[in-house]
């Protein structure tokens, strides 16, 4: 993990994306973009792989559906078989409804928990949040961040971001005050 | 394909703009978060006091019902399902339009949802909360409500999952939780925007915790988009199933007028119908009070009104189908139930339903009325009342005219019935007002993204192949 982050602000999306691309070409790998809304093409420019949230959703759905059916079968047909007018105990048409609800509920919870894990949130003390003027990242400014694990890397990144036309270039975290 | 992309507002076929604003700057963000950042005005406080008074009345009525029992209400055999179930189905229906707007329109990539989805989702949460209270009030033994959960108990009995009551409990609880997750996931970026703008330190701490330290990182957005889309897909599947399950409470019962397989789609349509109408009733005053006319434009009002008109026809088709089936089916009890609506004891309720849900919405054929704020609110109110009456005319006449004469008895509500009806309306308003003060009601990140898409120059490489 990087000990400090170098940040630069950009005003427009195309400018930000070309800055990200050129930083990647130069070999920077710990890149990120902080934007007020999802930016088309940012995933490409950063070389991000597809989100794995979908697998969490699938796992949650399978587990929830199975658990939903199992609970109904075990309680009503196995553990406490209540004969009502000789109607079938293993009444799958009636059990379908709550199986379906269990599937959706578990899948939604799985998505939510997976999102928290993927975001590594909650984290109220990320160094980037302390950057001067970073509140514009939720208004209209695009902040490019470069992870740096040594002073040399940090200075190089500061220089590179400045050369790409970023405003408010600064470094946060690590040994910087 | 030509590279020209119509500038919003200049298209002759589509003259109303989706957004009217100058820039995407700090000021625009502040405007989108206005109802969180600005102190509450006189309109908010007066509505808050009224709804608090109504909520207190609701609490009194609840205590009354718990102490006296179900006899405090007008419910009596054979009319065991009266106001509590009417109100339950009514409220849950309002929730559905919220999910429709935010989830189904996400899947169809409809841009007009951006400005209004949070209004609708918040409406869902408040409405489902109201709906969830009624079955408990109606249990008669509310202290045993938890018996509906399959928890291990020394009694070694379990809930009966072949019964519709457990389906309701499961469906409504699932709906509330999934709506809450969907709402919150969509909200996190906007809570972060509020964190960065709010001026009090207490507010900053609250929004910092609520937004979990959101930094708008590209990685986080990538996961957010996938997660949000999947949640939308799940919520869409869920909303259809919840209302279908509720309609099966009726359709699986052996009563004239209920035992019909048109009920699931019919109930889903009726739910969406009422929800869109209630959305108009909420949206327009908020838009005026907070001067959000550039974000929620005549176009949105126009589109919501079109949905009201569309669903009015779905519901009207349901009425025709139901009556036709009763007539063609030839079952004397079923015919008797519907005859009671057309000219019998419940004729007044029935014709008021038809007026509110089938006739008055036809005004929305006029494009001038669709864009008029007053007409929209009035038609919205008529529909909101109309769908309540529709539930009444579904539930009561069938119950009071079952298959044997000993089950023939007309229904009359008691004053406590009206207390819980207006009490829950007040509680809904109270919750909505409180949430409106805490939570950004305009999805700021969505609107800014949309604004940027609309104002960007056409791309050079790709032809603009976007469906409307």
Can you give the pLDDT of all 468 residues of chain B as single tens digits?
344 444 554 555 566 777 776 665 777 888 788 888 888 888 899 999 999 999 999 999 999 999 998 889 988 888 888 899 999 999 998 888 788 778 878 888 788 888 888 888 899 999 999 998 998 888 888 888 888 888 888 888 888 888 888 888 888 899 999 999 999 999 999 999 999 888 889 989 999 999 999 998 999 999 999 999 999 999 988 988 888 888 888 888 888 888 888 888 888 899 889 999 999 999 898 888 888 888 888 888 998 999 999 999 999 999 999 899 889 988 888 898 898 899 988 999 999 999 999 999 999 999 899 999 999 999 999 999 999 999 999 899 888 888 888 888 888 899 999 999 999 999 999 999 999 889 988 888 888 888 877 776 544 444 444 443
Cβ-nearest to A51 among B158, B222, B231: B222
Is B425 inside any structural domain?
yes
Same domain, B64 and B201: yes
pLDDT band, residue A135 (cuts 50/70/90): confident
Residue B76 pairs with which residues in a beta bridge?
Answer: B79
Is B24 inside any structural domain?
no
Residue B461 confidence (pLDDT)? 42
Same domain, B260 and B293: yes
CA separation for the pair B457, B22 (Å, rounded): 16
Asked if B26 and A54 come within 8 Å (Cβ–Cβ), the reply is: no
Asked if B161 and A72 come within 8 Å (Cβ–Cβ), the reply is: yes
Residue B22 confidence (pLDDT)? 62
Same domain, B180 and B55: yes
Residues of B in contact with A54 (CB under 8 A): 226, 230
Residues of A in contact with B248 (CB under 8 A): 97
Interface check for A163 against chain B (CB to CB < 8 A): the answer is no
Same domain, B227 and B265: no
Asked if A115 and B192 come within 8 Å (Cβ–Cβ), the reply is: no
Is B454 inside any structural domain?
no
| Predicted TM-score (pTM) of this structure | 0.89
* A22-40: average pLDDT: 88
Same domain, B178 and B48: yes
Which residue on chain A is closest to B457 by alpha carbon?
Answer: A14
Residue B15 confidence (pLDDT)? 65
Is B349 inside any structural domain?
yes
Same domain, B96 and B225: yes
- Cβ-Cβ contacts under 8 Å between A and B: the total is 199
Same domain, B261 and B286: yes
Is B322 inside any structural domain?
yes
Is B228 inside any structural domain?
yes
Give the H/E segment covering residue B57: helix B42-68
Cβ-nearest to A48 among B29, B222, B238: B222
Interface check for A35 against chain B (CB to CB < 8 A): the answer is yes
Same domain, B64 and B158: yes
Backbone angles phi, psi at B79, to 5 degrees: -85, 65
Residue B468 confidence (pLDDT)? 38
CA separation for the pair B193, B216 (Å, rounded): 10
Residue B460 confidence (pLDDT)? 43
Give me the domain span that covers residue B220: 37-250+416-449
Which residue on chain B is closest to A42 by alpha carbon?
Answer: B218
Q: Is the peptide bond before A56 cis (omega within 30 degrees of 0)?
A: no
Same domain, B239 and B112: yes
Interface check for A172 against chain B (CB to CB < 8 A): the answer is no
Residue B2 confidence (pLDDT)? 43
Report the largest interatomic distance among the alpha carbons of chain A, rounded to a whole angstrom: 82
Is B467 inside any structural domain?
no
Burial of A20: CB neighbours in 10 Å, binned 0-12, 13-18, 19+: buried
SS3 B346: coil
Asked if A82 and B160 come within 8 Å (Cβ–Cβ), the reply is: yes
Domain count, chain B: 2
Interface check for A48 against chain B (CB to CB < 8 A): the answer is yes
Tokens coding B280: 């108009």
């Amino acid at each position: 993990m990087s000990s400090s982050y170098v940040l630069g602000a950009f005003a427009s999306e195309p400018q930000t994306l070309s800055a990200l691309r050129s930083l990647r070409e130069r070999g920077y790998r710990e890149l990120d973009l902080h934007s007020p809304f999802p930016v088309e093409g940012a995933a490409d420019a950063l070389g991000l792989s597809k989100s794995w949230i979908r697998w969490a959703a699938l796992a949650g759905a399978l587990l929830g559906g199975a658990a939903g059916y199992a609970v109904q079968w075990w309680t009503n047909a196995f553990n406490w078989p209540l004969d009502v007018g000789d109607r079938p105990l293993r009444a799958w048409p009636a059990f379908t409804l709550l199986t379906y609800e269990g599937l959706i509920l578990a899948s939604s919870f799985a998505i939510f928990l997976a999102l928290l894990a993927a975001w590594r949130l909650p984290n109220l003390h990320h160094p980037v949040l302390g950057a001067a003027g970073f509140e514009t990242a939720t208004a209209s400014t695009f902040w490019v961040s470069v992870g740096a694990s040594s002073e040399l890397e940090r200075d190089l990144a500061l220089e590179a971001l400045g050369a790409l036309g970023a405003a408010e270039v600064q470094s946060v975290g690590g040994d910087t005050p | 394909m030509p590279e020209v992309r119509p500038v919003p507002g200049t298209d002759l076929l589509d003259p109303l703009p989706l957004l009217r604003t100058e820039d995407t700057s700090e000021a625009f963000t502040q405007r989108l978060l206005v109802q969180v950042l600005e102190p509450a005005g006189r309109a908010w406080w007066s509505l808050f006091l009224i709804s608090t008074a109504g909520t207190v009345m609701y609490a009194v009525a609840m205590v009354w019902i718990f102490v006296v029992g179900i006899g405090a209400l007008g419910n009596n055999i054979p009319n065991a399902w009266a106001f509590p179930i009417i109100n339950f189905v009514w409220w849950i229906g309002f929730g559905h339009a919220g999910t429709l707007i935010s989830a189904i329109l996400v899947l169809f990539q409809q841009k007009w949802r951006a400005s209004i989805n949070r209004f609708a989702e918040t409406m869902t949460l408040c409405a489902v909360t109201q709906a969830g209270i009624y079955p408990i009030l109606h249990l008669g033994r509310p202290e045993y409500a938890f018996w509906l959960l399959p928890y291990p108990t020394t009694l070694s009995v379990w809930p009966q999952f072949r019964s519709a009551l457990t389906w309701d409990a499961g469906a409504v609880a699932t709906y509330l939780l999934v709506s809450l997750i969907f709402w919150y996931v969509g909200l996190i970026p906007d809570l972060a925007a509020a964190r960065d703008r709010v001026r009090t330190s207490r507010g900053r701490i609250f929004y910092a915790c609520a937004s979990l330290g959101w930094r708008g990182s590209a990685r986080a957005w990538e996961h957010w988009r996938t997660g949000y889309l999947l949640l939308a897909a799940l919520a869409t599947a869920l909303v259809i199933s919840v209302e279908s399950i509720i309609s099966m409470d009726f359709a699986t019962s052996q009563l004239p007028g209920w035992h019909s397989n048109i009920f699931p789609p019919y109930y889903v349509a009726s739910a969406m119908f009422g929800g869109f109408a209630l959305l108009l009733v909420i949206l327009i005053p908020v838009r005026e009070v907070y001067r959000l006319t550039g974000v929620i434009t005549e176009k949105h009002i126009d589109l919501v009104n079109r949905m009201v008109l569309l669903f009015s026809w779905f519901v009207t088709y349901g009425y025709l189908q139901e009556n036709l089936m009763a007539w063609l089916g030839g079952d004397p009890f079923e015919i008797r139930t519907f005859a009671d609506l057309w000219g019998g004891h419940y004729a007044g309720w029935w014709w008021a339903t038809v007026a509110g849900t089938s006739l008055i919405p036809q005004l929305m054929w006029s494009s001038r009325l669709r864009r008029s704020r007053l007409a929209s609110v009035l038609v919205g109110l008529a529909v909101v009342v109309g769908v309540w009456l529709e539930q009444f005319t579904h539930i009561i006449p069938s119950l009071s005219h079952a298959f044997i004469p000993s089950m023939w008895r007309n229904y009359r509500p008691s004053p406590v019935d009206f207390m819980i009806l207006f009490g829950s309306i007040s509680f809904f308003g109270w919750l909505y007002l409180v949430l409106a003060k805490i939570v950004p009601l305009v999805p700021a990140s969505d609107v800014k993204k949309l604004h940027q898409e609309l104002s960007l120059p056409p791309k050079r490489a790709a032809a603009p192949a976007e469906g409307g």
